[in-house]
Amino acid sequence: MTPALRGEKLTRTFSSPAGDVHACIDIDIEVAAGELVVVRGASGAGKTTLLNLLGGLDRPTSGTVWLGDVEATSLDEDALAALRRERLGFVFQSFGLIPILSAAENVELPLRIAKTPPAERDQRVAEALRLVGLDGHAAQRPGELSGGQQQRVGIARAIAARPHVLIADEPTGQLDSRTAATVMDLIGDLVHSQGLAAVVSTHDPLLVERADRVIELHDGRLTSIDGRPVPRVVAGADDPR
């Protein structure tokens, strides 16, 4: 079966006055439908860069990203934006909600941008808020909600378009440990009940327990999968580095 999300030999190099910064180096990753993969590592390990590459928010210096049978890295910007709308949902550390809009209106916004018909929009918004346990808070604005509830609105917004893949970058970074655990449980439940392929970055060891699989990054390299070290290729005739 084709993985829902696949990255092959992903490398991202940034130029700086001090020299090149290798944020990701030759990373291979596959995520199946219904699987929750946690990416862990210290700050600066390359987690956010990897998620941006997988989500089509940045382009790799080399390597390819596949969403199902579509090679995302070969698409132009318009086609890539359409693919993100259709197949990807994003959850960020900063909730990113618009303060003057209600919870329902925040969830609805990406569907409006995608020109989803009004009746279908209403149905999807109601469904998404129900799935995250906020169907009774649809009319409340972000300032009237707790941090955990705001992040649940962010998750509802991400799943309202019924994506194939969920990308979550430090989704519990602004939450206390108890609320963070609840949010991670919610993500795990959604992944398994809705058949999503999810990649979640965190450096919190308490959240790793909820993953189906854990990969660890260090200095831009994939160093372990479920605690098993990943052999590092030695530079030589076949590896110019």
pLDDT tens digits along 14-53: 998 888 999 999 999 999 999 999 999 988 899 999 999 9
Domain-wise residue ranges, the chain:
5-99+148-229
Residue 210 has pLDDT above 60, yes or no: yes
What is the mean predicted confidence (pLDDT) over 170-174?
87
Residue 241 has pLDDT above 80, yes or no: no
pLDDT band at 236; cut points 50, 70, 90: very low
Predicted structure pTM score: 0.89
SS3 for the chain is CCCCEEEEEEEEEECCCCCCEEEEEEEEEEECCCCEEEEECCCCCCHHHHHHHHCCCCCCCEEEEEECCEEHHHCCHHHHHHHHHHHEEEEECCCCCCCCCCHHHHHHHHHHHCCCCHHHHHHHHHHHHHHCCCHHHCCCCHHHCCHHHHHHHHHHHHHCCCCCEEEEECCCCCCCHHHHHHHHHHHHHHHHHHCCEEEEEECCHHHHCCCCEEEEEECCEEEEECCEECCCCCCECCECC
Average pLDDT, the chain: 91
Who wins on pLDDT, 183 or 103? 103
What is the mean predicted confidence (pLDDT) over 173-200?
90
Q: What is the pLDDT of residue 233?
A: 56
What is the mean predicted confidence (pLDDT) over 148-163?
93
Residue 231 has pLDDT above 80, yes or no: no
Q: Which CATH class is domain 5-99+148-229?
A: alpha beta
